[in-house]
Amino acid sequence: MKTLAFSRLLRLGAATALTLGLVACSTTDIGNAPALPANARWGLLPFANHTETPQAGLRAEAISETILRANGITDLRRYPASLNNETLFEPMDRKQLDAALDWARGENIGYALSGTVDEWRYKVGVDGEPAVGLTLQLIEVSSGKVVWAAAGGKSGWSREALSAVAQKLTRTLLSPLTSAVPAATAAVGDGNPADSAAKP
């Protein structure tokens, strides 16, 4: 009798774990971080919004910029606001991204992060889980070559904020780049590697 009760409890626990896993799941494909020069200047390019949520690209940009800065990429230039005229009703188009890349070349930026937002919404239904889908690309500005890319989608719990899910997904996608930053930023420091090494 005890064995039967224990077996039922185990099955119930497994079913619950499976359900929870399906409710809050994620899928990612993340490239390995390229070897970047320690003194490279970084830029942030516009994110294209492929969703029906107004200004989702701008929101994803803000989260990405904050995560990069929080992880030591301080020499990061954001494109001028005039290069992105996304409004509530008109998404950004490809020409604006090309113009932003031209701006980055003019600013002698070595590498620039760009991306697209493929999903940014609360799912329709009783629970209304938040769901986010992103792709990110690191572009070598001088050549226009994509040297790193990542894509992912994540859904959260029904009471979780959409911005929190977006932040978690963005942090995961950017992790190869941000994990390689400490050595680079230490070398850059205030322009003198010896001074940086001497600091506690």
pLDDT of residue 179: 85
pLDDT of residue 149: 98
pLDDT of residue 70: 94
Please report where in the chains the tokens 């200047």 appear, as a residue.
41
pLDDT along the chain (200 residues), means of 10: 52 44 74 89 94 93 96 92 68 77 96 96 86 97 96 93 97 92 48 40
Q: Which helix (H) or strand (E) holds 154?
A: strand 145-155
pLDDT of residue 152: 98
* C-alpha span between 181 and 189 (Å, rounded): 12
Please report where in the chains the tokens 């690191």 appear, as a residue.
138
- Cβ contacts of 138 within 8 Å, gap of 6 or more: 34, 111, 112, 113, 146, 147, 148, 149, 177
Taking a C-beta distance cutoff of 8 angstroms, is the pair 166, 59 a contact? yes
- Cβ contacts of 10 within 8 Å, gap of 6 or more: none
CB count within 10 Å of CB 124 equals: 8
Q: Report the largest interatomic distance among the alpha carbons of the chain, rounded to a whole angstrom.
A: 77
pLDDT of residue 109: 97
What's the token pair of residue 171?
Answer: 């942090």
pLDDT of residue 95: 79
pLDDT of residue 93: 63
What's the token pair of residue 194?
Answer: 């010896």
